[in-house]
């Protein structure tokens, strides 16, 4: 339905995010994040079958056809020191079509720039470089956001507000979470000079700055933050892990949205949603959600015939299942001393080796009833390899994994052959026109490092992983986010040279760093 007569809702805040004293004491060696404080936006409801995560505030964006702008404001203040300045916006509702936003200063005809949110999942961050003069104008006057491409309902995360209802336009709300929306997910300016990018990276993982949708995205981060907490004995990482977990586990309930932003509470949407149960089982072994996962795995095995025993969605055997099914299955089976679950886990690796590795040793992302697609895609290689390594490492000593260990060594030799001089891997290994993908590269290196640490792989795996870790430094933003990642695989753009900030790679990098230990 086209809403032609729109009212506007003005949201203000009682929070002073940056006092003049704080700004005076800041310096350009630390990244500063300045959140917007209010919005004036069309009163467009979230569709009744969808939901904004955690009851956090959202910013409605009108369709391109309506052409109505949203206005976001900051508290007027002096811009902190630093010549690296980014304006950032983050999606709060799933996008399944091309979507382009234009951002301008109020009253200015020439836009500051555009935000490409094509096929973007929730928590997809976009950024726009600004000059110091432009940023000061943003602080003084705010920004106007207009959609130029896209008609489907769409919301960004909005400014935090203590003085007004959370998500007043949400028709299917979830109670606001005790963990407040972080500044990095609100419309904000990032200002920095020469920072310690790895120190900034650690800060981003000590809270919920990089939270992702429940499933394979958040699961990679839960693994990484947990691994760092154990490796460093850091209370900050441990607290960050607990806060992340509390976003989805509320008492005995599992609360989350599926990949299309629809509520999916207390049930499992698909095989990619079961990765977090490796973490849940590790720290909440008796949570009722673990039993949901076990029932899902058992009920989604293929019957006799093609891919018999493969836990999968429909007719699709995917590399994702090595990491999102085989590994958590193995951990739950070990923790519960359940030989049936361990046996099902082993099947996942052996079936995928048969169906996803061809006679030339290439690794394919998917096999749909005998038809393979997406050969040697870096993140697909990650899912296959990291899941295999993690599963072997989790397996009880009494279980024979000799064939899987041989496959792990073969895969190690094969990926090292494709490693670029900078330590990373191309998005598609076989295409010289493709640039590197930091998310796939960090995941492959995590598999190498974990394999070396656990004795599954020889020392040369650690050497290759260390090369990757050093290479990733060049792709960290000034505030420690990992840039230059392939977008979520929901359109042909995942096989293109489009690159985005994608925190999944930060979770995979955390696994890499924890396994490397002291360099």
Q: What is the 3-state secondary structure (H, E, C) of 207-262?
A: CCCCCCCCCHHHHHHHHHHHHHHHHHCCHHHHHHHHHHHHHHEECCEECCECCCCC
pTM: 0.92
Domain that holds residue 31: 8-192
pLDDT given for residue 175 in this prediction: 63
* Both tokens assigned to 402: 């000799």
Is residue 399 in some structural domain? yes
Residue 1 lies in a domain: no
Q: Write the CATH number for 14.
A: 2.60.120
Sequence-distant (6+) residues with CB within 8 A of 360 are none
Q: Which residues, 6 or more positions from 319, have their beta carbon under 8 angstroms from its beta carbon?
A: 352, 356, 363, 364, 365, 366, 380, 381, 383, 384, 387
Domain's final residue, options 192, 219, 248: 192
Please tell me whether residues 415 and 466 are part of one structural domain. Answer: yes
**Cα separation, 400 vs 106, whole angstroms:** 66
Q: Assess if residue 184 is contained within a domain.
A: yes
- pLDDT for 464 equals 98
Low-confidence ranges of the chain (pLDDT < 70): 1-28, 162-176
- Indicate the residue among 162, 192, 222 that finishes a domain: 192
CA atoms within 13 A on the CB side of 346: 17
Q: What is the pLDDT of residue 518?
A: 82
Residues 251 and 164 in one domain: no
Whether residues 268 and 148 fall in one domain? no
Is residue 404 situated within a structural domain? yes
CA atoms within 13 A on the CB side of 40: 10
Q: Are residues 177 and 212 in the same domain?
A: no
Query: Does residue 43 fall inside a structural domain?
Result: yes
Query: Do residues 289 and 142 both lie within one domain?
Result: no
| Same domain? 394 vs 466 | yes
- Token pair of 517, please? 């230990």
Are 59 and 106 within one domain?
Answer: yes
Q: What is the pLDDT of residue 20?
A: 30
Q: Please indicate, yes or no, if residue 3 is contained in any of the structural domains.
A: no
Of the three residues 146, 175, 192, the one that is the final residue of a domain is 192
Q: Are residues 37 and 133 in the same domain?
A: yes
24 and 159 in a common domain: yes
Number of structural domains in the chain: 2
3-state secondary structure of 131: coil
Is residue 2 situated within a structural domain?
A: no
Pair 257, 298 in one domain: yes
pLDDT at 14: 30
CATH number (domain holding residue 314): 1.50.10.10
- Cα 125–Cα 52–Cα 98 angle in degrees, nearest 5: 50
Residues 6+ positions from 381 with CB-CB distance below 8 Å: 319, 363, 415, 425, 429, 440, 443, 444
Tokens 């598999």 correspond to 447
Same domain, 148 and 221: no
Query: Residue 387 is inside which H or E element, if any?
Result: helix 378-394
Among candidates 275, 290, 156, which has minimal Cα distance to 217? Answer: 275
Closest to 389 measured CA to CA, from 365, 403, 406, 408: 408
38 in any annotated domain: yes
Are residues 40 and 88 both part of a single domain? yes
SS3 30: coil
């Amino acid at each position: 339905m086209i809403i032609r007569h729109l009212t506007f809702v003005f949201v203000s805040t009682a929070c002073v995010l940056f006092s003049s004293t704080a700004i005076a004491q800041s310096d350009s060696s630390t990244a500063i994040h300045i959140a917007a404080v209010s919005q004036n936006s069309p009163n467009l409801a979230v569709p009744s079958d969808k939901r904004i995560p955690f009851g956090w505030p959202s910013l409605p964006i009108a369709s391109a056809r309506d052409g109505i702008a949203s206005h976001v404001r900051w508290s007027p203040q002096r811009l902190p020191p630093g010549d690296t300045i980014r304006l950032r916006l983050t999606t709060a509702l799933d996008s399944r079509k091309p979507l382009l936003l234009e951002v301008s200063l109020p009253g200015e005809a020439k836009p500051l720039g555009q935000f490409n949110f094509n096929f973007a999942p929730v928590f997809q961050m976009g950024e726009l470089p600004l000059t110091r003069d432009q940023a000061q104008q943003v602080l003084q006057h705010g920004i106007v956001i207009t959609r130029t491409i896209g008609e489907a309902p769409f919301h960004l995360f909005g400014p935090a507000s203590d003085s007004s209802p959370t998500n007043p336009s949400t028709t299917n709300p979830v109670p606001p979470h005790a963990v407040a929306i972080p500044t990095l997910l609100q419309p904000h300016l990032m200002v920095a000079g020469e920072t310690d990018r790895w120190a900034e990276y650690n800060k981003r993982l000590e809270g919920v700055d990089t939270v992702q949708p429940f499933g394979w995205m958040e699961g990679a981060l839960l693994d990484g933050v947990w691994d760092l907490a154990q490796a460093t004995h850091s209370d900050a990482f441990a607290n960050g892990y607990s806060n992340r977990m509390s976003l989805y586990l509320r008492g005995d309930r599992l609360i989350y949205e599926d990949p299309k932003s629809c509520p999916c509470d207390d049930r499992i949407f698909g095989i990619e949603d079961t990765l977090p149960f490796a973490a849940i089982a590790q720290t909440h072994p008796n949570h009722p959600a673990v039993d949901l996962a076990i029932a899902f795995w058992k009920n989604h095995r293929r019957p006799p015939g093609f891919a018999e025993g493969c836990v999968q969605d429909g007719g699709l055997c995917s590399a994702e299942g090595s990491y999102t099914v085989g590994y958590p299955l193995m951990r739950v089976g070990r923790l519960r001393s359940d030989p049936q679950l361990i046996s099902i886990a082993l099947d996942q690796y052996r079936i995928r080796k048969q169906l996803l590795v061809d006679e030339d040793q290439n690794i394919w992302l998917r096999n749909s009833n005998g038809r393979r697609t997406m050969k040697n895609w870096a993140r697909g290689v990650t899912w296959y390899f990291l899941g295999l390594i993690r599963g072997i490492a989790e397996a009880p000593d009494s279980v024979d994994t000799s064939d899987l260990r041989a496959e792990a060594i073969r895969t190690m030799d094969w990926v090292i052959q494709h490693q670029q001089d900078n330590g990373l891997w191309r998005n598609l290994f076989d295409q010289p026109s493709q640039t590197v993908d930091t998310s796939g590269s960090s995941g492959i290196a995590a598999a190498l490092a974990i394999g070396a640490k656990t004795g599954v792989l020889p020392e040369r795996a650690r050497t290759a992983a260390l090369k990757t870790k050093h290479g990733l430094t060049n792709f960290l933003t000034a505030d420690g986010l990992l840039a230059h990642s392939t977008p979520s695989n929901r359109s042909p753009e995942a096989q293109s040279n489009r690159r985005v900030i994608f925190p999944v790679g930060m979770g995979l990098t955390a696994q890499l760093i924890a396994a490397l230990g002291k360099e």
